Homo-oligomer: A and B are copies of this chain.
């Protein structure tokens, strides 16, 4: 079983969602734990509300954020699990790298 398949789901969609500065900014703002409406999130940006809405849906599909409709507004909230998943992948990569270095060092110092 390869490193990529060894963990739960494929982290690529999560990274793809993180790979846009606008979305990264939205996620950063939401990571303070406060849920926000679309209008609120669109307020201090140059983009259209529709553009922000699309980005929020991308984040939601990646599991980085969760939406819930309350009354006339729909609020978005940060979802920490997906971030943990991305971190887990990066950790597995650096761990494999560190192990390779250790083995090389052991081989040289023998």
Interface residues of A (CB under 8 A from B): 2-4, 10-21, 24-25, 27-28, 31-34, 78, 80, 83-84, 86-87, 89-91, 93-94, 96-97, 100-101, 104
Contact = CB atoms under 8 A, between A and B. Distances in A.
Chain A residues touching B, majority SS? helix
Interface centre among A17, A27, A31 (most CB of B within 10 A): A31
Contact of A93 (B3, B31, B104): B31
Nearest to A101: B33
A24 B2 contact: no
Contacts of A25: 4
Contacts of A15: 15-16, 18-19, 24
